[in-house]
Amino acid sequence: MIATPERLDLPYTPDVAAATEHLYARVAHSVTRAEWELYAPYIARIEELKREKNAVVLAHHYQTAEIYRCVADIIGDSLSLAQAAEKTDADVIVMCGVHFMAETAKLMNPEKIVLLPDLAAGCSLAESITAADVRALRAEHPGVPVVTYVNTSAAVKAETDVCCTSANAVAVVESLGVPKVIFLPDEYLAAYVASKTNVEIVTWKGHCEVHERFTATEILDLREMHPGIVVLAHPECPPDVLANADFVGSTTAMLGYVKERRPARVAMITECSMAGNLVDAFPEIEFMQPCNLCPHMRRITLPKILRALETMSPQIEVDPAIAGRARLAVERMTAVRRDLASV
């Protein structure tokens, strides 16, 4: 479902139509003309402000089509967005994602302005653990290194040896060359990593509120209703879901699978917008899936992006007392080569 803009004060004029028509082709399979006439004025104005303020828009795969395919300059998963944030020459970064992603962008670009269009765009995983929890685990397991999923606050990252994403979790764990690691905070991703390595994994009971709702029964029902369907699942899903999938991988790995294999019919067991964005890119593929939405990702809208660029707020800041240590954990992550074939 496409959200209606909160503001309706920007008119759809002939000039707006001419300036944005080439972009409509990118979303024509998922956005109606009536919807486009609401979105196009915001897109046109956002593009103007990006040029005026030397701003770049980074968007996660879970953003809606009008953002993901029309105003985003860089799209990707958490890892690729972190890498892109580190390399951008823009003066302003607009993060179309959630709070920890904006914090990561600020860690990698302390001298740049980083905007998050809605500060309430949080993450259930990030909220499942605190810096004090990490320190307690270290005390319980002395000498054991801590690998922390990027879906965490900067304060938690500062207590971490190295971060990871779902795209490089196995590679990061094995890069340490140790027999045992503490892996935080996603319990299901930790279980998946444990199944792919001989390293002993100490886990934490954090879950993604989107992925934990999927069930194996839903997958079996999909297969019964749609014979031959290819099921792709994110490793944040429960183990019984992963056991019934044809492929398990990060959002980027799933995208790579679709690009390379071109299955006739596919179910992507992750946030709804992922498949919604691919409908336009691969109209010949039939995407079918149980649909769970991330309420935090949906907080980012075109009017909020426009307002952020107009006002240069809300800006993300990271406490200098923790920024250096948190940045080091992220830098260690981005230095580890991704092994997408294994995740």
Which of the residue ranges 70-79, 177-186, 255-264, 295-304 would you say has the lowest mean pLDDT? 70-79
Domains in the chain, number: 3
- pTM of this prediction? 0.90
pLDDT tens digits, 235-271? 999 999 999 999 999 988 999 999 999 999 999 999 9
The verdict on 117 and 29 lying in the same domain is: yes
The verdict on 190 and 230 lying in the same domain is: no
Specify the pLDDT at position 5: 53
Instruction: Report whether pLDDT(171) > 90.
Output: yes
The verdict on 35 and 58 lying in the same domain is: yes
Which of the residue ranges 136-140, 262-266, 285-289, 302-306 would you say has the lowest mean pLDDT? 285-289
Instruction: Answer whether residue 229 is part of any domain.
Output: yes
Instruction: Answer whether residue 341 is part of any domain.
Output: no
Cα 181 from Cα 183, distance rounded (Å): 6
pLDDT tens digits, 42-83? 999 999 999 999 999 999 999 999 999 999 999 998 778 878
The verdict on 169 and 193 lying in the same domain is: yes
Instruction: Answer whether residue 338 is part of any domain.
Output: no
Average pLDDT over residues 133-139: 98
pLDDT tens digits, 78-122? 778 878 887 889 999 999 999 999 999 999 999 999 999 999 999
The verdict on 101 and 137 lying in the same domain is: no
The verdict on 198 and 239 lying in the same domain is: no
**Contact between residue 5 and residue 301 where contact means Cβ atoms under 8 Å apart:** yes
Cis peptide before 110 (omega within 30 of 0): no
Nearest Cα to Cα of residue 70 among 139, 2, 153, 151: 2
For the chain, percent of residues with pLDDT exceeding 70: 95
Specify the pLDDT at position 160: 96
Residue ranges making up the domain that contains 261: 211-287
Instruction: Report whether pLDDT(280) > 90.
Output: no
What average pLDDT is seen over the chain?
92
